Amino acid sequence: MDFYFGVFSFAAIYGILAMSYTLVHGVGGMFTVAHAVFFGVGAYAAALISQLLPPGLMVLDIVAAALVTGLVGAAIGLAALKQRGQYMMLITFSIQIIFSVFLINTHALGGEDGISTIPPFRFGPWVLGGSLASMILLWVLAGLTFAFFSYLTRSDFGRTVRAIREDELAVEAVGVNVFRMKWLVFSLTAGVAGFAGALFAHVTQYISPNSFNFDAAILIVTISVLGGQFSYIGAVVGSLIVMWLPILVGYLGIPGSQVAAIIQLIFGCTIIVMLYLRPAGIIGEAAVRYADPKPAPDVPQVRQ
Amino acid sequence: MLSLATFGAVWGASIAFVAVALGLSWRVLGILDFGLAAVYAVVAYVQYTIVRDLGIAVWLAAPLALIGGIGLQLVIYRVVYAHFLRARQSLATVVLLSLAVLYVCQNILVLCFGSAGQVILTTPPLRLQFGPLSMLAIDVATVVSLLVVLGLLYLLFVRTRLGLAMRGMAVNPELARTLGVSPERVRAMTFCLTGAIVAVPAIIGSLYDPITPTIGFNPILFAFAAFVIASVRSGLGIPQYALCGVALGLVTGLSLLFIPSQWQLAVPFAAMVVVTIVRRNAGPVQRAV
């Protein structure tokens, strides 16, 4: 049973990660492919900081990892957000590649072998691992992330961010500091991705560069495309599907050596099919209604 | 140092092929075609199958593999891209598609051939001596092929109607359409052309080196960096892409004098970040898909 709790735990962690991607990409319109970098920075930061803290204070390392990642995101954002559209994608793509090379070749971070001495995260009586209690805790954290992002998206801040996505120049023309808004969103989502990475490090108790490479970046995109690029619920649904997929493939009796290839093949086909049939993802249209429950009074409603 | 420079120049020539194909896709079609890495790998495996499994000679297998590359690109265009290019999707969507194509092809290869390296020719490669410089014949073939392909592309774009139509689509797609250029035909032919260009280094590079399903990944990454650094603003920019590819290969080769080989991949991307930041909004110009 612990195994299934473990799968749901990973779904919660990747759900948090995918929700942060939804905010930066779906809501903010910033096409970044460096989200696995922030996930990785958070995981490595938590792994390193946790070695310095006594077991009772481990909640601090997760908070610290999120802050460190937020700062890294802020630094990257300073460079990347000066560029528009494709240029931002180019920079984040480069950073993803450089980060992978850096992790593999830095012996202080365990090199290709990674770090295997990460203690399980303790939260009062609970130990994050495969248990029911830790799974519930992780889903509570995912729920809080969902509530926070939903609130943020509906707030004035969120409306401005969405307006920037639609027409950056127009928003700039009414006096909004577009760069600062985008930078805040980018840094915030980096921090949340780092938070997810820290949880990941403590749940698996082992991290290696393979978990944060270009494949990981594609995994995040797959979750987002599958569930819905503009929806936080979609991010969670996509995460659940993607985490359960390997289990279902395993049930088919496929040889272990081929499971990874088949899963990646399914991910690739999923992206193509979803973009073709349902670009807004499984939860797409429902999410748009959810995000805007009340249209502004002076905007006439258009019957679709 | 001479051997590193030679290695860099030959590697650069391989990058140049892919960078030219990537640049053509961008300038004519408006897409960043990471799927070219899949074409690279598939061509290598087609050649492997023809030579090792069917026992056909390399000189005959090479053109068949080239046709395989062209055919694959045409199939990818018809099955995946045609709908999205007609609908003028965003850059993000098309980039996602190309990455998905890469994943699909790569993993089909893993399922068919496994992920272990396969070797086409087990005989030692022929070595040529030019004074103090010693080079493999296969490396000379890579450089000569690049020059030949660049010459053929020049003839295509200067002397043929198809080339003119491609240039028209690259410079002003709307005007080209108005003047009677068929976007469907130009897109299909561009996919075929990029498939053929990428097939050349794949055929040559896979003869002696072990091939794996991810064999196209490094060339596409380096080519992508060269493509961005080239920052072509007008025309098709083929010479610029080729030159940047060769230069990047040279810099990467010579960088081995100062940094360990494991960090090699970081060199072009660090250069790319610096170029993009320093020359604000450098890189390829945004265009409608």
- C-alpha A224/C-alpha A231 separation (Å) is 8
User: Mapped to the 3 state alphabet, what secondary structure does chain A carry?
Assistant: CHHHHHHHHHHHHHHHHHHHHHHHHHHCCCCCCCHHHHHHHHHHHHHHHHCCCCHHHHHHHHHHHHHHHHHHHHHHHHHHCCCCCHHHHHHHHHHHHHHHHHHHHCHHHCHHHCECCCCCCEECCEECCCCHHHHHHHHHHHHHHHHHHHHHHHCHHHHHHHHHHHCHHHHHHCCCCHHHHHHHHHHHHHHHHHHHHHHHHHHHCCECHHHHCHHHHHHHHHHHHHHCCCCHHHHHHHHHHHHHHHHHHHHCCCCHHHHHHHHHHHHHHHHHHHHHHCCCCCCHHHHHHHHCCCCCCCCCCCCC
Which residues in chain B are contacts of A265 at CB distance < 8 A?
103-104, 107-108, 111
- At A131, which amino acid appears? S
Q: How far is CA A167 from CA A2, A21, A150, B116, B258, in A?
A: 48, 20, 22, 49, 46
Q: Cα(first)–Cα(last) distance of chain B, in Å?
A: 44
To test the contact with chain B by mutation, choose from A226, A265, A274, A278 the residue with the greatest count of B C-beta atoms within 10 A, namely A265
Query: Which residues partner with B133 through β-bridges?
Result: B130
pLDDT tens readout for residues A238-284: 999 988 888 888 787 777 778 888 888 988 898 888 888 888 888 86
- C-alpha B252/C-alpha B139 separation (Å) is 17
pLDDT tens readout for residues B16-50: 999 999 999 988 888 888 899 999 999 999 999 99
B256 min Cα distance to partner chain A (Å) = 15
Q: How many CB atoms lie within 10 A of CB A41?
A: 27
B138 min Cα distance to partner chain A (Å) = 29
Of B93, B276, B284, the CB nearest to A275: B93
B3-42 as b/e, with b when 16 or more CB fall inside 10 Å?
A: eebbbbbbbbbbbbbbbbbbbbbbbbbbbbbbbbbbbbbb
The confidence score (pLDDT) of residue A122 equals 74
* Element containing residue B186 per DSSP (H, E): helix B183-205
- At A277, which amino acid appears? L
Which residues in chain B are contacts of A269 at CB distance < 8 A?
100, 104
Tell whether A261 lies on the interface with B, counting CB pairs under 8 A. yes
pLDDT higher than threshold 70 for residue A130: no
DSSP B256: T
pLDDT higher than threshold 80 for residue A292: no
The confidence score (pLDDT) of residue A286 equals 54
For chain A positions 61-120, those within 8 Å of chain B (CB to CB) are 79, 82-87, 89-91, 93-95, 97-98, 101-102, 104-105
Contacts of A242 (CB under 8 A, 6+ apart): A14, A219, A222, A223, A226, A267
B289 three-class SS: coil
Which residues in chain A are contacts of B104 at CB distance < 8 A?
265, 268-269, 272
Which residues in chain A are contacts of B283 at CB distance < 8 A?
86-87, 90
| Tokens linked to B76 | 């990818």
- pTM here? 0.84
To test the contact with chain B by mutation, choose from A78, A92, A98 the residue with the greatest count of B C-beta atoms within 10 A, namely A98
Q: Are B95 and A82 in contact (CB < 8 Å)?
A: no
pLDDT higher than threshold 50 for residue A296: no
Q: Are B87 and A275 in contact (CB under 8 A)?
A: no
Q: What ipTM was reported for this prediction?
A: 0.83
pLDDT tens readout for residues A18-36: 999 999 988 888 888 889 9
Q: Which residue of B has its CA nearest to A259?
A: B111
A215 min Cα distance to partner chain B (Å) = 9
Q: How far is CA A275 from CA A23, A271, B40, B273, in A?
A: 19, 6, 25, 30
Q: Which residue of B has its CA nearest to A84?
A: B281
Q: Are B276 and A90 in contact (CB < 8 Å)?
A: yes
The confidence score (pLDDT) of residue B289 equals 42
What is the percentage of chain A residues whose pLDDT exceeds 70? 88
B135 three-class SS: strand
Q: Which of A133-147, A167-181, B266-280 has the lowest mean pLDDT?
A: B266-280
The confidence score (pLDDT) of residue A142 equals 94
Q: How many CB atoms lie within 10 A of CB B250?
A: 19
B123 three-class SS: coil
Which residues in chain A are contacts of B265 at CB distance < 8 A?
97, 101
Q: Are B262 and A101 in contact (CB < 8 Å)?
A: yes
Which residues in chain A are contacts of B272 at CB distance < 8 A?
90, 94
pLDDT higher than threshold 80 for residue A301: no
Query: Which residues partner with B134 through β-bridges?
Result: B129
Contacts of B29 (CB under 8 A, 6+ apart): B85, B169, B187, B190, B191, B289
- Sign of the four-CA dihedral B191, B195, B196, B197: positive
Q: Cα(first)–Cα(last) distance of chain A, in Å?
A: 47
**Phi/psi at B279 (5° precision):** -90, 85
Average pLDDT over residues B270-289: 63
Q: Are B84 and A275 in contact (CB < 8 Å)?
A: yes
Q: Could you tell me which of B237, B250, B81 has the C-alpha nearest to residue A276?
A: B81
- C-alpha A32/C-alpha A89 separation (Å) is 5
Q: Are B286 and A85 in contact (CB < 8 Å)?
A: yes
Q: How many degrees, rounded to 5, is the angle at CA B29 between CA A33 and CA A268?
A: 45
The confidence score (pLDDT) of residue B39 equals 93
Say which residue, B27 or B234, is predicted with more confidence. B27
Q: Are B276 and A269 in contact (CB < 8 Å)?
A: no
Cβ contacts below 8 Å, chain A against chain B, sum to 113
Q: Considering chain A, what is the average pLDDT of its residues?
A: 84
Of A86, A93, A102, the CB nearest to B286: A86
Q: How far is it between the farthest Cα atoms of chain B?
A: 57
- C-alpha B87/C-alpha B90 separation (Å) is 9
- C-alpha B119/C-alpha B48 separation (Å) is 8
